[in-house]
Structures are given as structure tokens and as C-alpha cells.
Amino acid sequence: MATDQRALERFFQGVADQTPTPAWSHLHLVHWPGDCSPLVPLTAAGFQGTTLTVARASIVRVARERFPQLGVIPTDHPTAGQPADHVLMELPQGRTATRLTVTAALGQLSPTGALWLFGRRDGGILWAAKRFTGATTVLSRGHLRLLRLPRDSLFQERPGDPPPPAIPADGFLPLDVAGLTLATRPGLFSWDSPDPASLLLLAALEDTPPVPRLLDWGCGSGLLGVALARRWPGCRVTMTDDQFSAVACARQSAAWNGVDKRCQIWAEAGIGETLSKHTFDAIVTNPPFHRGVATDRHTTPTFLRAAAQRLAPGGSLWVVGNRFLDYGTRLAQVLTRVRQVADDGRFTVWQGHRQA
């Protein structure tokens, strides 16, 4: 979710006023603000016995610290596969993910239950209101909307709609990229096509000597970490991501490409408790610039400062991003010998070193 803090609090106070709050069995969060403060008006309105299902490690940590009365389950499924009554659910990222996830949630509702879907106008909530039968707008404040979908709501196909992907039993879609087969899922960044920024960074690393210990931060489905593990047979690779779905996909990608025995992969936001215990000879990252549809300018600078301390002496950090983000200036504040390595007109690759 994304908008200013006061607007979020006003919106969720309206949600509590307009919906059967005590009857909710589940609340599902995908890109929720890191401090989870909008839960305050919801818990005050009777949101006590609800199961909180969350898609990010950062949300789990804050929710467990600030709202211990809620049961928290790390999962991408809105009800964790459990039977449900009234479900309050954040709009997923992308139309395909919305279609699949909303349908999964509806399938778990009791005969008297309903699905309450919230999201931003520019995030796809207006599209969802038109595509699911019986959807009604319950609340509209600023950029935010709340929809009510009855249990029997169905997705309405339109001419020209791409068919939804057939998700295999293991839950992973294969994507062929740079000689690899990656595991992906709708809702992940660049889930259905290779990401050009990551490919630019991978090409820039082509002639780099192998390193013993590598970190791929914000790994997504594992393109950078898996490709470099294949390229450097002696390298031990760590991959981390805030999204649980990304971690699951990266693990499967490592297994599919035969490098899983040299890869350790876990969910963590930024440089957290686990990463802070490790050092690396190189760190590579295509850092998140958005959280859902919202621009996120805070996460990467914070990460770059912390990551510089996780480099071994003489180690290097490689980062790629849109040209206007100017990561070179950020790197120069914490590392030495910072240089621009590649630029394709849209994205720029920068490298910096920790002093030996």
C-alpha cells in the first residue's frame, strides 16, 4: 500500500466504520507500509481474533512486535488456505496476480462471507471493480478504494484478455532467461519477462573474477544469484528478499539449475538480524524502486549504507537502477573507487569498493 500516513489512517478508520470488523476472519497484506500503523484503528474497532496473512518479512516483524494479539502467518494466500468468513485483502501487484489471488480467496469463503478488497486507484482497484461480478464500492477516500465482493463473484473475461497462466501443482512457472530456467509467480517483479536492468548488470559482471562469497540482495526469482553461481563454480551465494514468494521462487530456481547446494536463501528486509552476521566479497543488487505501485526512495539508500559494512575489506558492491536514481552519488558516500560500469540509456550499473 502507498499513500501518506494520515490519509491511510483516515481511510482505515472508514473501513472500520463501514464493514463488519468483528466478523473478519482474515486480513491479507502485500505491500503494507512498514510501520503497520493503520492497524491501530482496525484493532480499536474490534479487529482482535483475526488471522493476519502477510506476504513480506518486514510486515511479519512489525506486526508481531506491535500487534501480538493477532495471529500472523507468512503466506501469499489471503486465507493461508483456511476456511474464512469476512476477509479484508490488499490488492496484489498486477492484474494476473489480482485475478488469481482474488479467485483463491473467494473459494475459501463461507456461504455468509464476503471479500473486502482495498487498493489505490492507480494500482488496479478500479479495474477489479469492473471485472468481478457483484463488486460494489463501499468506501472511496482520496486515492484509496474499498470493494465488497460476494462469495459467488466471478471474473468476467473480455475480448483480448490473455488467458491466465496454468499454475503447475508445485506453484512455479518456468521462465527461460540467459540460459537459465527461473521459477516465477504472478505478483513478483518481472515475473513474465526478463528484467533488462538485471540483464545489464549480469553482462557488466561478465569479465569479473570469481569471488568466494556473494550476496544477491533483493533477489526476486534469483536471476543474478543463480546465474553467478553457475558462472563461478567455487562461489557460495546468499540470496535474500523481503517477499516470501520471491524466496520460494529463488530456492526453486537454484534447484532447477543445479546450484542449490551452494546457495542459502531466506526472507529478510534490508540488512537484518541474519545478514548482519555475515560478510561478503561481493554484493550485487537490482534494488526495489517500488513497493507495489508506490515509489520507494528510502529502502535502497538505507541498504547501501548497511551493505557497505557487510563487505570484506577490498570487496565490491554492484548496483543497477534507472539513470535518474544516481546510485553513484549514494555509493560514493560509503565506498571508495566508485565508477560507472555500464549504461544503456535507461539503466546504469555502478561499482564501489570497501577500502582494503
- Structure confidence at residue 299 (pLDDT): 66
15 alpha-carbon distance from chain centroid: 24
- DSSP for residue 317: E
Tens of pLDDT along the chain (356 residues) come to 445 677 887 888 888 888 887 788 999 999 876 666 667 777 777 766 789 999 999 989 888 888 888 889 999 999 999 999 999 999 998 999 999 999 999 999 999 999 999 999 988 999 999 999 999 999 999 899 999 999 999 999 998 888 888 889 889 999 999 899 999 999 999 999 999 999 999 999 999 999 999 999 999 999 999 999 999 999 999 999 999 999 999 999 999 999 999 999 999 988 989 999 999 999 999 987 544 444 445 667 888 899 999 999 999 999 999 988 889 999 999 999 999 999 999 999 999 999 97
Residue type, 199: L
Please write down the HEC assignment for all residues of 138-196.
Answer: EEEECCEEEEEEECCCCECCCCCCCCCCCCCCCCCEEEEECCEEEEECCCCCCCCCCCH
In sequence order, what DSSP letters do the residues of 281-305 get, joined into one string? Answer: EEEEE----EETTEE--SHHHHHHH
- Structure confidence at residue 32 (pLDDT): 77
Beta bridge partners of 340: 350
- Structure confidence at residue 3 (pLDDT): 52
313 alpha-carbon distance from chain centroid: 31
Residue type, 339: R
Using an 8 Å Cβ cutoff, are 182 and 222 in contact? yes
Instruction: Report d(CA 32, CA 119) in Å as an integer.
Output: 10
- Structure confidence at residue 233 (pLDDT): 96
- Structure confidence at residue 257 (pLDDT): 98
Tell me the whole-structure pTM to 2 decimals: 0.92
Burial of 188 (0-12, 13-18, 19+ CB in 10 A): buried
- Structure confidence at residue 293 (pLDDT): 44
